[in-house]
Amino acid sequence: MRSVVEGGGLRLQARLIDHGGAHRTLANARVAWGTREGLVLELADEHATGIGEATPLPGHSPESLAEARADLARWLREPSLASPPWSGSPWEAARHVTEWLAQQSRSLATPSARFALETALLDYWSRRLRVAPWELLGGEVRDRRSP
């Protein structure tokens, strides 16, 4: 599924990609999962590309893959992109990204869909601003233009 999501001065090409069977076995203390299906959400423009993943664990996650897909498909048809965190320099903007990410995911009902959108947007902004994701999540952001 491809679409364009717009809002707050952003115009992103969005793509939802099924990747059935791409995951290897995963286990925790109680259960093991064999090959799992999931979705990749890709958001891109001429500045950067960000990817996020929605892969609910059957019997463990509160939602199914079909519910996560429907949630992301609905968001792609009706995105909730508010004004992006541009307030001055990219370094000032980086300080506001986590709040902005939270605003974007509030309209999604399923945890794995929220995770896919939040990580795709986090990846997008870290690439666009050329800072590490940990810097966007509250680490010290330094202006790389100065020594």
The confidence score (pLDDT) of residue 147 equals: 43
**Residue 102 falls in which region: left (phi positive, over 0), alpha (psi -120 to 50) or beta:** alpha
Is the pLDDT score of 129 beyond 60? Answer: yes
DSSP H/E element including 60: none
Q: What's the rounded Cα separation, in Å, for the pair 52 and 115?
A: 7
In this predicted model, what pLDDT tens digit does every residue of 27-66 receive, in sequence order? 778 777 676 778 999 989 998 999 999 988 777 788 998 9
User: Which class is 2-136 in CATH?
Assistant: alpha beta
Give the pLDDT mean for 81-99: 60
How do the domains of the chain map onto residue ranges?
2-136
By mean pLDDT, which of 18-22, 45-49, 63-67, 130-134 is the weakest? 18-22
Rounded to an integer, what distance in angstroms lies between the CA atom of residue 132 and that of residue 31? Answer: 34
Helix, strand, coil shares of the chain as percentages rounded to 5?
35, 20, 45
Using a pLDDT cut of 90, give the percent of the chain over it: 21
Residue 102 vs residue 90, higher pLDDT: 102
The residue to which tokens 């233009």 are assigned: 145
Residue 132 predicted with pLDDT over 90 = no
> Helix, strand, or coil here: 43?
strand
